[in-house]
């Protein structure tokens, strides 16, 4: 028997929270629809751990489409909504002394 989190009533699902753009408050502020998320739940500071918790059926999470692409293509995740909201603008920083090692 397989477990499908979507079969669990929304009010009984655990909400998984990340930091910054992976937090549900960002989803709401950016105009995301109510998908049954709650203010309480489990908190993660690492986006990969948040994604892993969602992939293993521990609750619903707001995750990066880029990070979740592999899990979605393998059927580990499915969206609660087709809506998306703008995420972070990531910047890659390198220390100038690192240039000398190339």
Q: From the DSSP assignment, how many helices (H) and strands (E) are in the chain? A: 3, 3
pLDDT (0 to 100) of residue 1: 42
pLDDT (0 to 100) of residue 49: 95
Six token digits for residue 58: 């521990």
Compute CA distances 3 → 59, 97, 98, whole Å: 12, 51, 48
Task: Give CA angle at 78 (75, 79), nearest 5°.
Answer: 160
Reported as a single tens digit per residue, the pLDDT across 15-69 is 999 988 788 988 888 888 998 899 899 999 999 999 999 999 899 999 988 889 9
Contact 51, 67 (CB under 8 A): yes
The pTM of this model reads 0.77
Reported as a single tens digit per residue, the pLDDT across 57-90 is 899 999 988 889 999 999 999 988 888 888 766 5
CA–CA separation, 78 and 68 (whole Å): 10
CATH (residue range 5-79+87-101)? 3.40.190
């Amino acid at each position: 028997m397989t477990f499908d989190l979507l079969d669990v009533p929304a009010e009984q699902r655990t909400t998984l929270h990340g930091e910054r753009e992976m937090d549900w408050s960002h989803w709401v502020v950016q105009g995301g629809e109510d998908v049954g998320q709650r203010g309480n739940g489990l908190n993660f500071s690492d986006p990969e751990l948040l994604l892993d918790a969602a992939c293993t059926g521990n609750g619903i999470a707001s995750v990066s489409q880029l990070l979740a692409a592999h899990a979605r293509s393998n059927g580990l995740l499915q969206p609660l909504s087709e809506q998306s909201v703008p995420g972070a603008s990531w910047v890659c920083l390198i220390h100038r002394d690192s240039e000398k090692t190339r």
